[in-house]
């Protein structure tokens, strides 16, 4: 059998040996990148109890749900609690909802986001859509490309010591760039960079219309260490909110749905 040479002259076998070595040393505890028992509490009332105290530090999570399910409020509260209660600076990258609207939300919940901005504990980057009339057309091409996103995130994480990142919603990227493979690869690269910097991240996506899809494109969940689904369901002419931890690697999580509420105090899981 011929041995394929990689461009740098190594054979595939050399590459495999190298990878096995990395795995061995991780098993021996030499280069374990993080302590898996170390968790990042979201600070969202009633939620951390469902996931053994919090998200695993440095990992990426997907939050999905239909429009109005509470994804952005959940994500904003995750950053707000992180910055105000756990000393973890956060970065919110918004692709759809304007910064003004997010700030209005924060004000309604009594969160002093302005103070956190001033203290550089919270950063908001607005990559929202270009709109013509009431139609959103595309991401702002002046402000946005995927390399630009990577650089923005890396700079913020390294220079401002960001520990929590939200991208809301990544489904916009899938719509803007029809090659799903490219987006997955790019988001994986971003996710690895965030992991290396011990940043715990939430990528927001929408629930698809396909019956078994928990995400819009049916691929986003594979990017992530965990998937949280928010439901906003009509029951007897009334709508109710639920939350479900659909997948959470390395975690003995609660299985099933819990009621969720959004009040002027923010989000809470109801027991
Ligand atoms: N102060 C508040 N008190 C109670 N409920 C609120 C409050 N503010 C917003 N909500 C509820 O939260 C909903 C919006 O939540 P959010 O913006 O997080 O949804 P989303 O899942 O991000 O939706 P989209 O996919 O459209 O961005 C509102 O439609 C409303 O029902
Ligand atoms: Mg939203």
Measured CA to CA, the distance from residue 255 to residue 22 in angstroms comes to: 34
**Residues 15 and 73 grouped into a single domain:** no
64 lines ligand 1 (CB under 6 A): no
Question: 27 with 96, same domain?
Answer: no
Same domain, 266 and 180: yes
Domain around 230: 35-270
Q: What digits encode the pLDDT tens for the residues 167-213?
A: 999 988 887 777 888 888 889 999 999 999 999 999 999 886 666 67
Tell whether ligand 1 has an atom less than 6 A from the beta carbon of residue 33: no
Statement to judge: residues 150 and 266 lie in one domain: yes
Predicted pLDDT at 186: 87
Q: Do 41 and 108 share a domain, yes or no?
A: yes
Q: Using CA atoms, how far apart are residues 53 and 31, in angstroms rounded to an integer?
A: 25
pLDDT at 33 over 50: no
Contact 101, 94 (CB under 8 A): no
Nearest CA, atom 13, ligand 1: 68
CA of 252 to the centre of ligand 2 (A): 28
21 & 58 share domain = no
What is the rounded distance in angstroms from the CA atom of residue 101 to the CA atom of residue 58?
A: 28
User: What gap in Å lies between CA 117 and CA 112, rounded to an integer?
Assistant: 9
In which residue are the tokens 């595939």 written?
Answer: 12
Cα distance between residue 43 and residue 86, in whole Å: 8
User: What pLDDT is attached to residue 217?
Assistant: 81
Percent over 70 (pLDDT), the chain: 79
pLDDT tens readout for residues 125-139: 988 866 555 555 556
Phi, psi of 112 (to 5 degrees): -85, 75
Same structural domain, 19 and 39: no
Q: How confident is the model at residue 257 (pLDDT cuts 50, 70, 90)?
A: very high
Considering the domain architecture, whether residues 45 and 110 belong to the same structural domain is answered as yes
Distance CA 206, CA 223 (A): 15
Which residue is it, tokens 């594979």? 222
Percent above pLDDT 90 for the chain: 61
pTM of the model: 0.85
For the chain, the domain total comes to: 2
Question: What is the mean pLDDT of the segment spanning 216-243?
Answer: 91
Task: Check whether 3 has a pLDDT greater than 60.
Answer: no
For ligand 1, whether the C-beta of 68 sits within 6 Å is: yes
Q: Could you identify the residue written with the tokens 């109005």? A: 68
From the CB of 264, is ligand 1 less than 6 Å away? yes
- Residues around ion ligand 2, judged by CB within 5 A, are 72
User: Based on the domain organization, do 4 and 49 belong to the same domain?
Assistant: no
Contacts with 124 (C-beta within 8 Å, 6 or more apart), sequence order: 91, 92, 94, 99, 102, 103, 117
Same-domain check for residues 26 and 146: no
- CB contact set of 172 (below 8 Å; sequence gap of 6+): 95, 96, 129, 139
4-17 residue pLDDT tens: 555 666 676 776 66
Q: How big is the chain, counted in residues?
A: 271
User: Do 2 and 53 reside in the same domain of the chain?
Assistant: no
Angle at 122 between CA 117 and CA 126, to 5 degrees: 90
CATH number, domain of 132, equals 3.40.50.300
pLDDT tens digits, residue range 65-110?
Answer: 999 999 999 999 999 999 999 999 999 999 989 989 999 999 999 9
108 lines ligand 1 (CB under 6 A): yes
- Which pLDDT value is given to residue 27? 54
Per-residue HEC secondary structure of the chain comes to CCCCECCCCCEHHHHHHHHHHHHHHHHCCCCCCCCCCCEECCCCECCHHHHCCCEECCCEEEEEECCCCCHHHHHHHHHHHHHHHCCCCEEEEECCCCHHHHHHHHHHCCCCHHHHHHCCCEEEEECCEEEECCEEEEECCCCCCHHHHHHHHHHHHHHHCCCEEEEECCHHHHHHCCCHHHHHHHHHHHHHHHHHCCCEEEEEEECCCCCCCCCCCCCHHHHCCEEEEEEEEEECCEEEEEEEEEEECCCCCCCCEEEEEEECCEEEEEC
């Amino acid at each position: 059998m011929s041995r394929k040479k990689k461009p740098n002259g190594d054979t595939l076998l050399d590459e495999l040996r190298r990878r096995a070595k990395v795995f061995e040393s991780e098993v021996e505890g030499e280069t374990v990148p993080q302590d898996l028992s170390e968790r990042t509490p979201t600070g969202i009332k009633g939620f951390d109890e469902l996931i053994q105290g919090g998200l695993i530090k440095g990992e990426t999570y997907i939050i999905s749900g239909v429009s109005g399910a509470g994804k952005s409020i959940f994500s904003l509260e995750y950053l707000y609690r992180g910055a105000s209660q756990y000393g973890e600076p956060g970065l919110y990258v918004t692709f759809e909802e304007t910064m003004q609207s997010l700030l209005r939300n924060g004000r309604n919940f009594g969160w002093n986001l302005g103070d956190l901005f001033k203290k550089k504990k919270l950063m908001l980057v607005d990559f929202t859509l270009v709109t013509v009339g009431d139609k959103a057309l595309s991401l702002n091409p002046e402000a946005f490309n995927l390399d630009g996103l990577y650089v923005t995130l890396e700079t913020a994480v390294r220079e401002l010591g960001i520990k929590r990142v939200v991208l809301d919603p990544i489904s916009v990227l899938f719509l803007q760039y029809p090659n799903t493979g490219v987006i997955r690869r790019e988001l994986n690269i971003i996710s690895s960079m965030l992991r290396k910097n011990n940043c715990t991240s939430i990528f927001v996506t929408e629930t698809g219309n396909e019956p078994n899809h928990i995400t819009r494109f049916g691929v986003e969940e594979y990017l992530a260490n965990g998937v949280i689904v928010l439901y906003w369901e009509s029951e007897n002419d009334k709508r109710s909110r639920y939350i479900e931890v659909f997948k959470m690697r390395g975690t003995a999580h609660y299985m099933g749905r819990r009621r969720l509420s959004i009040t002027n105090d923010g989000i809470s899981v109801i027991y």
